[in-house]
Amino acid sequence: MKIDKILNEIDEIGEAHASSSADTPLRDDAFEISDLEKIELIKQDVNNIMNTLGLDLNDDSLKGTPQRVAKMFVNEIFSGLDPKRKPKASTFDNKYKYGEMLVEKNITVYSTCEHHLLPIVGKAHVAYISKGSVVGLSKMNRIVDYFAKRPQVQERLTMQIVQELQHVLGTKDVACVIDAKHLCVNSRGIRDIESSTVTSEFGGAFKEKEVKREFLDYIKLDTSF
Ligand SMILES: [Zn+2]
């Protein structure tokens, strides 16, 4: 999608990271405290939010919530902020000399909108054309999941997936389309339960009309086996 748009957005919130990639705006000291320390701090913060809302934290049903939410933030839904958790970039030689595009479609996306901290739920479709290296199929799912497990905007998620695969595979010929529902749109605000958001990033050969067309046609294939 539009790199300028993303960079402008990051600019606007005063976290300008001038680079060609759409980096997640993390502070330099993001990993100076341990995950356990983060869980303890977030637990206190969630406790404060619930307390402010007037909830009785002595109630059996509620008393474990701050701890549960804190663990979920650090170990699950925002675990992809930590570069140590990035999937290993192992590739294999393209021994079959398969020269056509490979499409991994309908990859489940569970992410979180960084503006409202509400879920983004959808599907990612990823494709590449090998320049000599290939990756295991599940690696593509893992890369999608790693970048999804952050506070995100869908445009940035789409670009991060493409840039990572370009880096791993050593080719620009990578594309990604994501179609997702944002619960901040579906369940609150405008409350449009039907709408979904489509973003795309086409690298290298995928910018060519016919290659792009072929990829988009594969996505449309019915795969209810
Ligand atoms: Zn939102």
Instruction: Quickly state the pLDDT bin for 191 (edges 50, 70, 90).
Output: confident
- Tell how far the Cα of 132 is from the centroid of ligand 1, in angstroms: 40
Q: Which residues are annotated as a binding site for Zn(2+)?
A: 113, 116, 184
Specify whether the CB–CB gap between 122 and 147 falls below 8 A. no
Instruction: Quickly state the pLDDT bin for 189 (edges 50, 70, 90).
Output: confident
pLDDT 10s digits, 44-78: 999 999 999 999 999 999 999 999 999 999 999 99
**In one letter, which amino acid is 96?**
Y
Annotation marks residue 167 as catalytic:
no
**Closest to 170 measured CA to CA, from 131, 202, 206:** 131
Q: Which of 9, 67, 166, 184 is catalytic?
A: 184
> Tell me, what's the pLDDT at 94?
87
- Pull the structure tokens for residue 168: 């791993």
Write down the mean pLDDT value for the chain: 91
- Tell how far the Cα of 110 is from the centroid of ligand 1, in angstroms: 14
Annotation marks residue 184 as catalytic:
yes
Annotation marks residue 114 as catalytic:
yes
Q: Can you list the pairs that 184-193 forms with residues at least 24 positions away whose Cβ atoms lie under 8 Å?
A: 184/113, 184/115, 184/116, 184/118, 187/118, 188/116, 188/118
- Tell how far the Cα of 178 is from the centroid of ligand 1, in angstroms: 16
> Tell me, what's the pLDDT at 16?
41
Q: Would the CA dihedral through 156, 157, 158, 159 be positive or negative?
A: positive
Q: How many CB atoms lie within 10 A of CB 155?
A: 20
Annotation marks residue 176 as catalytic:
no
**Closest to 147 measured CA to CA, from 117, 110, 200, 182:** 110
Averaged pLDDT for residues 175-194: 92
pLDDT 10s digits, 97-135: 888 999 999 999 999 999 999 999 999 999 999 999 999
